[in-house]
Structure 1
Amino acid sequence: MTPSKTTLALTRRLSGANYADTIPRVKEALAAQGFGVLTEIDVKATMKKKLDVDFRPYVILGACMPKAAYQALQVDPEIGLLMPCNVIVSELDGGEVEVMAVNATTLFTLVEHPQVESLSREVTASLQRALDSL
């Protein structure tokens, strides 16, 4: 399926995919592009534990490209507030799994610096390649 792009997110929907099997595939795709997954938040489990509500299967992966992160932090240490890049894997109705990654180019417009803009384009392109490989 062709990936779509919104202002905030790069999105890929996978028809007939298994949610549980997709999470490691996403991690592998991110690793192939130079990202490490620093955090993993199981939103469904958290909502059940904290609020006793049911939520669809939904995980947030905090992905970081170390070299780009280091370079961006050298330009502006406050940029750490925008890190890591979040990637969402969620189960949709109808047997689809949706994978969304933050559009770093959009996010990092908050930092007005040409070097950060260039880095954000590189990170966004790498995230898009990861989604395309799924």
Structure 2
Amino acid sequence: MTVPANSAYTIDRSVEGSFEGVVDQTTDALAEEGFGVLCDIDVQHKFEEKLDEEFPRYRILGACNPPLAHQALDEEFLLGTLLPCNVIVYEMGDGSVGVSAVDPETMLSVVDDSDLDVIATEVKTRLQNVLNALPAA
């Protein structure tokens, strides 16, 4: 499996440390930026359990900043279909751990509501702060 360096819809960082340590550091950094983790999906475990397939360690953290989510939902009621903000932690082929977050500016561009631009920028800044708080590989 080839891990892409980045994508047009994510913000990314290669991180130094153990996989579980990076998950914990990411969760802590999210909390520092006002995000709680609403769900934690262990994709590797689910694929093994449900499909009997091997997959690298890969966790999806569903992160939510309640004040910003409330503000966004007040503006665009159906926006809940795009929430929470997903942050993934995954094994990279070179032994490092990748952390990627959805780019909220890109994601919210599909809504076509310019009043959401300020919120999207705020969320992106906070998610970039989370990634910057992690030790670079």
Q: TM-score, normalised by structure 1?
A: 0.93
Higher strand share: 1
Displacement of 1:5 in angstroms is 6.1
Between the aligned partners of 2:111 and 2:93, the Cα distance in structure 1 is 37
Between the aligned partners of 1:65 and 1:130, the Cα distance in structure 2 is 13
Query: Structure 1, residues 23-68: CA drift from partner, whole Å, max 9, x if none?
Result: 0100000010111100000000000011000000000000001111
Q: Percent identity?
A: 38
Between the aligned partners of 1:73 and 1:51, the Cα distance in structure 2 is 36
SS at match of 1:10: strand
Between the aligned partners of 1:98 and 1:6, the Cα distance in structure 2 is 13
Between the aligned partners of 2:112 and 2:68, the Cα distance in structure 1 is 16
Equivalent residue, structure 2, for 1:132: 132
Structure 1: give runs of 5+ residues left out of the alignment.
Answer: none
Between the aligned partners of 2:6 and 2:56, the Cα distance in structure 1 is 23
Matched, 1:13 2:14: yes
Equivalent residue, structure 2, for 1:91: 91
Displacement of 1:18 in angstroms is 0.6
Structure 2: give runs of 5+ residues left out of the alignment.
Answer: none
Task: Give the partner amino acid of 2:123.
Answer: V
* Residue-pair matches, total: 130
SS at match of 2:109: helix
Matched, 1:68 2:52: no
